[in-house]
Amino acid sequence: MLAIPEVTRAAVSEVADTVQPQKEIKPAAQAPAQPEKTAPAKSKKKKKPQAPPPPSPEPLAEIIGVADAPRDYIADKFVGFVNSVDRFFGDDRNYQESNDSVLQFDITRVMGYGGEHRFVLSGRAKARLPNTERKLHILIESDPDKNVSSDAARNQPVQPRAKSTPDSYGAGVRYEKTEEDRWHYSTDGGLKFQGLNTTPFVRTRVSYALPLEEWQLKAAETLFWFNTIGAGETTQLDIERIYSTTLMFRSTSNATWLHDNQYFDLRQDLTFFHTLGDRRALLYQASAIGVSRPNAHVNDYVLLLIYRYRLHRKWMYVELSPQVHFPKERNFKSSGAIGLKLEVLFDGSK
């Protein structure tokens, strides 16, 4: 009688043992379903590192990011617009820093103060040599020793006693290099021809652009030697700001030192460039021109307006430039002048 319950208990325990694993298998079967629900969360975590730009906790990456921002700012906001303005006005910086071949020829006549009622001829050309990675150019220009005082030479007011024909011509070779729209370096070596006299000359220029939020600073340094004026250097600082798609401001400070004279020629320009369309533009400028010896003083104040019109395609321009001088030699009394110019400009622009 006692054996029967023991057998029964053994059978029940065996049945219980077989039933319990089945209960354990059910949760095990449900267990894979839980990872499937959490699978999208894992996929989201995988997508986060792929989002551009990928964040990096390393300090070096943060430094590189800070360095890239000013470069993008220059490329997007300044370089294209400023270059187009300089190119439209035939500015000297377009000639100096363009890696393309450039031909510029001017016929100017000035009436009034500083004018001789004759046409003044000037020109220059820069041709890129093939198979030189855009680094070597052939140069031809008129009066090369008179174009060292300012990168903004094309927008200068008329100077008294301007000659109608060039005194000399120069021919040389230029090596130039540009780094990321910031650095520009060039070195010229050539010969200056004046009548039967032929003398060598050398010239080196370096410029650097630095963005500061909505402003840009551009510094340029030029070292030169000519047989006629000797050794010298020019330092120029441009401070620029773009106010809109049609208006840009530029402050230009320039100092030129000549070894033979032992003093600085000083110049300060405040300029607004106002584009009126693809064919017309205005330039408003106030200038102060002086020297550093025997004491620093101003020889002339100038108010200048230039109206420039693209006459034909992108290579022929006409200019009308009324201006008012306040020269020291006339006790700073106002002296008016007006200039007319026809310019032919060829470069890589389309």
Inter-residue contact 185 to 206 (CB < 8 Å)? yes
Q: Does residue 116 form part of some domain?
A: yes
- Residue 339: is it exposed, middle or buried by C-beta count within 10 angstroms (0-12/13-18/19+)? buried
Total of domains in the chain: 1
**According to the model, what pLDDT value does residue 181 have?**
67
State the first-to-last Cα distance of the chain, in angstroms, to the nearest integer.
115
Q: Does residue 198 form part of some domain?
A: yes
Question: Which residue range is the domain that position 324 belongs to?
Answer: 73-346
In one letter, which amino acid is 235?
T
Q: Does residue 53 form part of some domain?
A: no
Q: Does residue 331 form part of some domain?
A: yes
Q: Does residue 142 form part of some domain?
A: yes
Q: Is the pTM of this model over 0.75?
A: no
**According to the model, what pLDDT value does residue 84 have?**
72
CB under 8 A, 24+ apart: contacts of 260-266: 260/229, 260/230, 262/293, 263/291, 263/292, 263/293, 264/291, 264/292, 264/293, 265/149, 265/289, 265/291, 266/290, 266/291, 266/292, 266/296
Cα–Cα distance between 154 and 308 in angstroms, integer? 12
Q: What is the CATH number of the domain that holds 152?
A: 2.40.160.40
Report CA torsion sign: 83, 257, 166, 225.
negative
Tens-of-pLDDT digits for all 350 residues of the chain? 444 445 445 544 554 454 444 444 444 444 454 545 444 554 445 555 555 555 544 444 455 444 455 555 555 556 666 777 766 776 676 677 776 788 888 888 888 887 766 788 888 888 888 878 778 899 998 888 876 654 544 455 555 444 556 778 899 999 988 876 688 899 999 999 988 889 999 999 999 988 887 889 999 999 999 888 889 999 999 999 999 889 999 999 999 998 888 889 999 999 999 999 888 999 999 999 999 988 889 999 999 999 999 888 778 899 999 999 999 999 999 999 998 989 888 776 65
- Residue 283: is it exposed, middle or buried by C-beta count within 10 angstroms (0-12/13-18/19+)? buried
**According to the model, what pLDDT value does residue 80 have?**
65
Inter-residue contact 285 to 251 (CB < 8 Å)? no
Q: Does residue 235 form part of some domain?
A: yes
Q: Does residue 45 form part of some domain?
A: no
**According to the model, what pLDDT value does residue 24 have?**
46
Q: Does residue 191 form part of some domain?
A: yes
